[in-house]
Structure 1
């Protein structure tokens, strides 16, 4: 059954290009994940707090390598895009796009940070830089994110990154302790401040 509309983003909007390295500041970048980052992914998904909100764990080095390799495959397939948040080139966290929809130019944003890297105001600037690239370089129309209403740290990141709250998704998110109401945030390419990446 043919579509009545042309995709807002054509096929190849991501995969035809090398995944970029995006500068956050003089020490922090967003860069593609590498095989030697696998121990960082394993450490992150061994963290009880990250497990609580993400409901996954990594049990071996082999699983960690497979996880990192999957992120590279997602770029080529244009289904997801994942960057390591790197301080002095050492991975300390992640910003990713999930469920990329080229037809509508929409994607869901996700992020996490290692416990030892928290408290320095790293994640929100990383999300802002990724969003600016998505809007200015690729041409995404809308980015959104969801978090449990109990995850106020994620809510603060979303707000500081310029993602406006849009409402509550009742009982929409399953976590370790059951279903949670979710908060929905979003940012449009046409939102004020997107021309310079500010929020």
Structure 2
């Protein structure tokens, strides 16, 4: 069945690019994951707050496998993820484009920050830097942040990075303690 509209981005648009290192303000650097980041990933998914909102934990072996998958996600254009670092080396958190849909020009964003780095506005700065690249270089049209209504910190991150609140998805995501309503925030390439 023929489509009546063009794809926003053609398949191959992401894979044709080398994954960049992105600079945010105050020395914050988003860089591709390295296998040597293993301890930070294990620490992240061992943190109770990250486990609560991301609904997962990782063993050492799972963390190593998770790190090894990022180049393949890039090649298959299914996801794109970066280590958020304070100086290009020390990992403070992660940010990723997940549910990446090139033909629709959309992606959902995921992020977390390790406990020792919280309170420094790292997540909103990383989100702003990654969004600038996703709109300006990749050419996406829409980015979304979805988070539990019980997670006000993520709400503040989205708002600080220019993601407008759009509404509530009722009982949209299953967490360990049951179904959570989810806030939806979005930013467009025209914002």
* TM-score normalised by length of structure 1: 0.92
Q: Matched residues in 2 for 1:27 and 1:190: separation? A: 27
Structure 2, unaligned runs of 5 or more = none
Q: Give the aligned length.
A: 190
Could you say which residue in structure 2 is the equivalent of 1:120? 120
Could you say which residue in structure 2 is the equivalent of 1:195? none
1:135-169 CA-to-partner distances (Å, cap 9, x unmatched) read 11111010011000000000000000100000011
CA-atom RMSD, angstroms? 1.1
Q: Matched residues in 2 for 1:66 and 1:52: separation? A: 21
Residue correspondence of structure 1 range 1-199 to structure 2 within 5 A: 1-60=1-60, 62-88=61-87, 89-191=89-191
Structure 1, unaligned runs of 5 or more = 192-199
Q: Matched residues in 1 for 2:102 and 2:183: separation? A: 24
1:33-89 CA-to-partner distances (Å, cap 9, x unmatched) read 0000011111100111111111111112x2111001112211111010001101122
1:158-198 CA-to-partner distances (Å, cap 9, x unmatched) read 0001000000111112112111111000000011xxxxxxx
Q: Matched residues in 2 for 1:149 and 1:46: separation? A: 22
SS of match in other structure, 1:73? helix
From the superposition, tell whether residues 26 and 168 of structure 1 become closer, same or farther in structure 2 (CA, over 3 Å).
closer
Which stretch of the first structure deviates more once superposed, 134-143 or 5-14? 5-14
Deviation of the 1:2 alpha carbon: 4.8
SS of match in other structure, 1:156? helix
Moved over 2 A (4+): 1-6
1:76-112 CA-to-partner distances (Å, cap 9, x unmatched) read 1101000110112211101100111111100001100
SS of match in other structure, 1:103? helix
Q: Matched residues in 2 for 1:63 and 1:32: separation? A: 18
Deviation of the 1:115 alpha carbon: 0.7
SS of match in other structure, 1:159? helix
Q: Matched residues in 2 for 1:133 and 1:52: separation? A: 29
* TM-score normalised by length of structure 2: 0.96
Q: Matched residues in 1 for 2:74 and 2:186: separation? A: 22
Could you say which residue in structure 2 is the equivalent of 1:197? none
